[in-house]
A and B are shown apart, each in its own frame.
Chain A
Amino acid sequence: MPLVATPHRPLDVDQLAGARDAALSRAQAHGCAHGELRVEHLRSQQVRLRDARLEGAAEDVELGMGVRVVIDGALGFAATVAGGPEQAAALVDEAVLVARSIAGAGGRPVELADEPGHGVVTWASEYDIDPADIPLSDKVGLLAEWSGRLLAAGSVDHVTAHVLAVTEDKFYADLAGTQATQRRVRVHPTVEAFAVDPDGGFETMRTVAPPAGRGWEYLQGQGWDWDAELESIPELLAEKVRAPSIVAGEYDLVVDPTNLWLTIHESIGHATELDRAMGYEAAYAGTSFATLDQLGSLRYGSEVMNVTGDRTTPHGLATVAIDDEGVPGQSFDLIRHGVLAGYQLDRSIASTSGLGPSNGCAFADSPLHVPIQRMANVSLQPAEGEGPTTGALIGDVDRGLYIVGDKSWSIDMQRYNFQFTGQRFFRIEGGRLVGQVRDVAYQATTTEFWGSMEAVGGRSTYLLGGAFNCGKGQPGQVAPVSHGCPSVLVRDVRVLNAREESGR
Chain B
Amino acid sequence: MSRRSASPGPDPATGLPPAQDVVEGALAAAGPGSDQCVVIVEETSEVEVRLANNTTTTNGSRRDRRVTVISMRQVDGGMAAGVARRGGDVDVAELVRAAEQDAAGSPPADDAWPLPTPAEADPSPASAARFHRPRASTELSVLTGVLADLSAAFTRARRSDHVLAGFAEHRQTTEYLGTSTGVRLAHAQPQGALHLVARSADGINSTWAGAGTTDFADVSVEELESRLRERLAWSARRIERPAGRYEVLLPPEAVSDLMVGLAYELSGRNAEDGRTVFSFPGGGTRVGEQLSPVPFELRSDPGLEGLECSPFLAATASSADTSVFDNGLPLDPTGWITGGRLERLRYHRAGADRSGTDPAGFIGNLSLEVPGASGTLEEMVARTERGLLLTCLWYIREVDPATMLLTGLTRDGVYVVEDGAVVGAANNFRFNESPVDLLARASEVGSTVRALGREFGEYFNRTSMPAVRVPDFNMSSVSQAS
Chain B neighbourhood of A7, CB < 8 A: 98
Complex Cα spacing A331 to B89, Å: 39
Query: Which of the four size classes fits the interface of chain B?
Result: 35 or more
Q: Beta-carbon contacts of A414-432 to B below 8 Å, as 1s and 0s?
A: 1111010100000000000
Complex Cα spacing A236 to B13, Å: 57
Complex Cα spacing A59 to B195, Å: 34
Complex Cα spacing A80 to B437, Å: 46
Residue of A nearest to B58 (CB): A370
Chain B neighbourhood of A54, CB < 8 A: 106-107, 109-110
Chain A nearest CB from B7 CB (Å) reads: 18
Complex Cα spacing A496 to B105, Å: 47
Q: A81-B87, A412-B395 are in contact. Are A202 and B53 (CB under 8 A)?
A: no
Do B84 and A102 touch across chains, with their CB atoms under 8 A apart? no
Do A77 and B60 touch across chains, with their CB atoms under 8 A apart? yes
Q: A4-B89, A101-B140, A158-B275 are in contact. Are A412 and B52 (CB under 8 A)?
A: no
Complex Cα spacing A501 to B147, Å: 45
Chain B neighbourhood of A443, CB < 8 A: 430, 476-477
Q: Determine chain B's interface SS by DSSP, over half rule.
A: strand
Tell me if A297 counts as interface (CB < 8 A to partner B).
no
Residue of B nearest to A42 (CB): B87
Tell me if A278 counts as interface (CB < 8 A to partner B).
yes
Q: A280-B53, A474-B167, A499-B400 are in contact. Are A105 and B150 (CB under 8 A)?
A: yes
Do A410 and B478 touch across chains, with their CB atoms under 8 A apart? no
Q: Which of A134-142, A209-217, A390-398 contacts B (4 or more CB under 8 A)?
A: A134-142
Q: A474-B167, A503-B474 are in contact. Are A81 and B89 (CB under 8 A)?
A: yes
Tell me if B265 counts as interface (CB < 8 A to partner A).
no
Chain B neighbourhood of A433, CB < 8 A: none
Complex Cα spacing A279 to B105, Å: 50
Residue of A nearest to B482 (CB): A414
Chain A neighbourhood of B275, CB < 8 A: 158, 194, 196, 202
Tell me if B90 counts as interface (CB < 8 A to partner A).
yes
Residue of A nearest to B394 (CB): A413
Do A417 and B409 touch across chains, with their CB atoms under 8 A apart? yes
| Residues 166-207 of B at the A interface (beta carbon under 8 Å) | 166-167, 169, 195-197, 199, 203, 206
Tell me if B434 counts as interface (CB < 8 A to partner A).
yes
Chain A neighbourhood of B274, CB < 8 A: 157-158, 194, 196-197, 202
Complex Cα spacing A140 to B86, Å: 21
Q: Beta-carbon contacts of A1-35 to B below 8 Å, as 1s and 0s?
A: 01111110000000000000000000000000000
Interface centre among B52, B88, B163 (most CB of A within 10 A): B88
Do B167 and A81 touch across chains, with their CB atoms under 8 A apart? no
Chain A neighbourhood of B65, CB < 8 A: 81
Q: Beta-carbon contacts of A465-501 to B below 8 Å, as 1s and 0s?
A: 0000000011110000000000000000010101101
Do B15 and A419 touch across chains, with their CB atoms under 8 A apart? no
Q: Which of B18-26, B312-320, B329-337 contacts A (4 or more CB under 8 A)?
A: B312-320
Residue in B16, B55, B89, B282 whose beta carbon sits within 8 Å of that of A199 in the complex: B282
Do A410 and B320 touch across chains, with their CB atoms under 8 A apart? no
Do A368 and B395 touch across chains, with their CB atoms under 8 A apart? no
Do A202 and B154 touch across chains, with their CB atoms under 8 A apart? no
Tell me if A224 counts as interface (CB < 8 A to partner B).
no
Complex Cα spacing A479 to B481, Å: 25
Q: Which of B43-51, B248-256, B375-383 contacts A (4 or more CB under 8 A)?
A: B43-51
Do B151 and A419 touch across chains, with their CB atoms under 8 A apart? no
Complex Cα spacing A56 to B107, Å: 11
Chain A neighbourhood of B195, CB < 8 A: 283-284, 474
Residue in B64, B154, B196, B319 whose beta carbon sits within 8 Å of that of A56 in the complex: B319
Q: Beta-carbon contacts of B7-46 to A below 8 Å, as 1s and 0s?
A: 0000001111000000000000000000000000000001
| Residues 386-434 of B at the A interface (beta carbon under 8 Å) | 394-403, 405, 407-409, 411, 428, 430, 432-434
Complex Cα spacing A449 to B411, Å: 22
Residue of B nearest to A280 (CB): B52
Tell me if A62 counts as interface (CB < 8 A to partner B).
yes
Residue in A79, A194, A415 whose beta carbon sits within 8 Å of that of B60 in the complex: A79
Do B154 and A474 touch across chains, with their CB atoms under 8 A apart? no
Do A5 and B480 touch across chains, with their CB atoms under 8 A apart? no
Do A81 and B61 touch across chains, with their CB atoms under 8 A apart? no
Chain B neighbourhood of A194, CB < 8 A: 273-275
Do A202 and B480 touch across chains, with their CB atoms under 8 A apart? no
Do B407 and A79 touch across chains, with their CB atoms under 8 A apart? no
| Residues 65-86 of B at the A interface (beta carbon under 8 Å) | 65-66, 82-86
Tell me if B56 counts as interface (CB < 8 A to partner A).
yes
Q: A82-B14, A279-B163, A502-B437 are in contact. Are A106 and B154 (CB under 8 A)?
A: yes
Interface centre among B195, B394, B403, B481 (most CB of A within 10 A): B481
Chain B nearest CB from A285 CB (Å) reads: 10
Do B52 and A104 touch across chains, with their CB atoms under 8 A apart? no
Tell me if B94 counts as interface (CB < 8 A to partner A).
yes
Query: Which of the four size classes fits the interface of chain A?
Result: 35 or more
Residue in B48, B56, B482 whose beta carbon sits within 8 Å of that of A475 in the complex: B48
Tell me if B458 counts as interface (CB < 8 A to partner A).
yes
Complex Cα spacing A419 to B84, Å: 39
Tell me if B222 counts as interface (CB < 8 A to partner A).
no
Chain B nearest CB from A342 CB (Å) reads: 22
Do A4 and B90 touch across chains, with their CB atoms under 8 A apart? yes
Do B64 and A64 touch across chains, with their CB atoms under 8 A apart? yes
Interface centre among A57, A108, A370 (most CB of B within 10 A): A57
Chain B neighbourhood of A372, CB < 8 A: 58
Q: A79-B60, A136-B102 are in contact. Are A417 and B430 (CB under 8 A)?
A: yes
Q: Beta-carbon contacts of B102-114 to A below 8 Å, as 1s and 0s?
A: 1001110111000
Do A504 and B430 touch across chains, with their CB atoms under 8 A apart? no
Residue in A59, A76, A105, A415 whose beta carbon sits within 8 Å of that of B84 in the complex: A59
Residue of A nearest to B428 (CB): A412
Tell me if A107 counts as interface (CB < 8 A to partner B).
yes
| Residues 465-481 of B at the A interface (beta carbon under 8 Å) | 474, 476-481
Residue of B nearest to A369 (CB): B60
Chain A neighbourhood of B55, CB < 8 A: 106-108
Chain B nearest CB from A465 CB (Å) reads: 18
Do A78 and B106 touch across chains, with their CB atoms under 8 A apart? no
Interface centre among B109, B148, B407 (most CB of A within 10 A): B407
Complex Cα spacing A99 to B324, Å: 41
Chain B nearest CB from A56 CB (Å) reads: 4
| Residues 364-423 of A at the B interface (beta carbon under 8 Å) | 368-370, 372, 408-417, 419, 421
Complex Cα spacing A287 to B404, Å: 28
Do A53 and B110 touch across chains, with their CB atoms under 8 A apart? yes
Residue of B nearest to A281 (CB): B52
Q: Beta-carbon contacts of A46-74 to B below 8 Å, as 1s and 0s?
A: 10101001111111111110100000000
Do B57 and A6 touch across chains, with their CB atoms under 8 A apart? no
Do A410 and B206 touch across chains, with their CB atoms under 8 A apart? no
Chain B nearest CB from A158 CB (Å) reads: 5
Do A502 and B400 touch across chains, with their CB atoms under 8 A apart? yes
Chain B neighbourhood of A62, CB < 8 A: 66, 87
Complex Cα spacing A284 to B458, Å: 10
Tell me if A116 counts as interface (CB < 8 A to partner B).
no
Complex Cα spacing A99 to B260, Å: 36
Tell me if A127 counts as interface (CB < 8 A to partner B).
no
Do B150 and A98 touch across chains, with their CB atoms under 8 A apart? no
| Residues 433-449 of B at the A interface (beta carbon under 8 Å) | 433-434, 437
Tell me if B96 counts as interface (CB < 8 A to partner A).
no
Chain B neighbourhood of A6, CB < 8 A: 86, 91, 94
| Residues 135-180 of A at the B interface (beta carbon under 8 Å) | 135-137, 140, 157-158
List 9 tightest A-B contacts by C-beta distance, closest first.
A107-B55, A200-B281, A137-B105, A81-B88, A196-B274, A414-B481, A282-B165, A501-B432, A412-B481
Q: List 10 A-B contacts (CB under 8 A).
A: A7-B98, A56-B317, A77-B59, A99-B59, A107-B154, A135-B105, A158-B274, A278-B53, A419-B407, A475-B60
Query: Could you list 20 further interchain pairs (A-B, Cβ under 8 angstroms) beyond the known A3-B89, A98-B140, A412-B411?
Result: A4-B88, A57-B106, A57-B317, A58-B316, A102-B56, A104-B151, A136-B102, A158-B275, A201-B281, A202-B274, A282-B163, A283-B165, A283-B195, A283-B197, A372-B58, A408-B399, A414-B480, A417-B479, A499-B400, A503-B437
